[in-house]
Each structure stands twice: as structure tokens, then as C-alpha cells.
Amino acid sequence: MIAWNTAVLTIHGWNFAVDGQPVGYGALTSIYGGNLDEEPDRRLTGTLACGGPINNVFWIADDSVILLTPPGDLDSDGDVNFGDLSILARQWRQPGVDYPFADIAPCVGDGIVDFLDLAVLCQYWLEGVVSPTTI
Ligand SMILES: [Ca+2]
Ligand SMILES: [Ca+2]
């Protein structure tokens, strides 16, 4: 993965680690704040929201951000709270065609926002709310 300029890449999942060090939910940013030539390669591991592994070298530079968020973080702000519940409620019993997309369960969606989707929010409720980190 390469992120630079002002790019924002959001990854929903859990058990994230950078270079083998466990990290919480939050923003991965450039170490030196410069261009890609100045940044070391780093490795991101973890589990994606749909259960698949992530194990990738990444480079990040400038003001770009890789945001690590829990499943159910519908507004991609790094946590699961009332903002996400509000989005889900507005799409309740609908196909979840609005953005942000609330049809998150089963894994790739099933065409309806219902209790399966609500269950994901409940499972990760308040994850990321306390002390989001910049790594
Ligand atoms: Ca959120
Ligand atoms: Ca669904």
C-alpha cells in the first residue's frame, strides 16, 4: 500500500499491528512528514472486517492517513458510537444504498439494513472511542 499527498485510506477490522507492535484504532501517519523517499517501509497486519487477513508492507507520506477502524464504524471516524447508530437508523429496513453504506452484514451486505447490521454495531459498540491513537 502506498498513500501520499492528502489520501485517506480507511480499513475496517481488528487486531491491527504495525511492524509487529499491536496498535489500537486510529490514524497511521507519516513518520517524518516528508515524501515517500524519506519514509521507511512498514508492515501492517490484522484482520479485515470480513475475516480475511491483512499483511502488507505500506509507505505513507505527506499528509496522507491510513485510518484503522472497527467494523461498524459507518462514518469512518475511528469509532462506533451514536453517529454510526444514527446512520444505520436512517437506513433501517432499506437497502442501505445511501452513503455511508449501512448494509454491512453479512460480510458484504445482503441488500437490507436490519438486525444483522445492528448486531455488528452492537458487537463493536464504543470501540475506538477511548484514546484513538496516532501511530
Ligand atoms: Ca464512527
Ligand atoms: Ca444487511
As a whole number of angstroms, the distance between CA 4 and CA 37 comes to 11
Give how far Cα 19 sits from Cα of 4, 54, 80, 87, 109, Å. 20, 13, 26, 34, 32
Render each residue's pLDDT in the chain as its tens digit; 135 residues: 777 678 889 999 999 999 999 998 988 888 887 787 888 899 999 999 989 999 999 988 888 889 999 999 999 888 999 999 999 999 999 986 777 889 999 988 899 999 999 999 999 999 987 654 555
- Full domain range(s) for residue 41: 2-70
- Report yes or no on 100 lying in a domain: no
Q: Catalogue the E-assigned strands of 26-88.
A: 26-28, 42-48, 53-60, 65-69
Q: Which ligand is nearest to the CA of 94?
A: 2
Q: pTM for the complete prediction? A: 0.83
- Report yes or no on 31 lying in a domain: yes
- Report yes or no on 16 lying in a domain: yes
Q: Which ligand is nearest to the CA of 67?
A: 1
Residue 52: the pLDDT is: 94
- Report yes or no on 27 lying in a domain: yes
Instruction: Decide: 73 and 126 in contact? Cβ < 8 Å.
Output: no
Q: Which ligand is nearest to the CA of 126?
A: 1
- Report yes or no on 36 lying in a domain: yes
Ligand 1 centre and the CA of 69: distance in Å?
Answer: 8
Residue 132: the pLDDT is: 46
- Report yes or no on 94 lying in a domain: no
- Report yes or no on 115 lying in a domain: no
Instruction: Decide: 88 and 102 in contact? Cβ < 8 Å.
Output: yes
- 101 Ramachandran zone, left/alpha/beta (phi>0; psi -120 to 50): beta
Residue 4: the pLDDT is: 67
Residue 90: the pLDDT is: 94
Instruction: Work out how many domains the chain is built from and give that number.
Output: 1
- Report yes or no on 63 lying in a domain: yes
